[in-house]
Structure 1
Amino acid sequence: MARYRFRFVACDEGFLRTFAGSAWRGAFGGALKRVVCAMRLRPCEGCPLAGTCIYPHLFEGRQGADPVRLKSLDRIAVPYVFELDDVVPRSFGAGSEVTVTLTLIGDANRRLARSYP
């Protein structure tokens, strides 16, 4: 398990809702897919690289190409947790800092290191 802390500075004013974790998940997942997808952002279903790609493993709960455990399952629990350090809901102005912690669990850290040399 490893924790990564991200600090963002707001370009504009905004508002974080009570369940802002899902918004962070969507933003992070979209950005990760744009960075790692070699197949021009096509759906992961049927992609020949889905077994080795970090995106479906992290965000769709897919097993890797050669699973060590839980071999009978196609889908597993996603191996991450987003934590917001600030109390939400809250509003913020341009220039305000927003901090998010991402905890990667198990195999996700090894895959992340392999994806980004």
Structure 2
Amino acid sequence: MTINTAAAKKMALLWLAGGGTTSVAAEAAGVRPSTVSSWRRNPVFAEELAAVRAVYEQRPQDVGALMRRLEEAEQRFARRPGAVTVEGSSARVHISVPAGATPRERERLVARGVARGIARVLRERGEAGL
């Protein structure tokens, strides 16, 4: 069975939020335990895990709320670095900064990501020549 990374992360979230071990979550997601351990160190994954756990703890029998939260997490995981989401008159650029990056590296990566995002929005709007 082939599963995409976002779906695998969603499956791991479900098991971890429910109290499963890293090994159990890895088996359910179809990845190695070291992969789940790596995901757990990622701030985005950690935030999503905390959010899913909160739903589990606050409304353990509300399966609909849990599934909606897991779908939101999967959508967030599926975003590619450099992707641009345009909502009305604002745009959100998705930037990936590796853990352990120095402040200078972060600044450089963010600046480059924002520049690429602006260029993409301008191209899509036909304003590249401005």
What TM-score do you get using the length of structure 2 for normalisation?
A: 0.24
Q: Which has the larger radius of gyration?
A: 2
Higher helix share: 2
Higher strand share: 1
Choose between structure 1 and 2 for higher RCO, CA contacts under 8 A separated by at least 6 residues: 1
What TM-score do you get using the length of structure 1 for normalisation?
A: 0.26
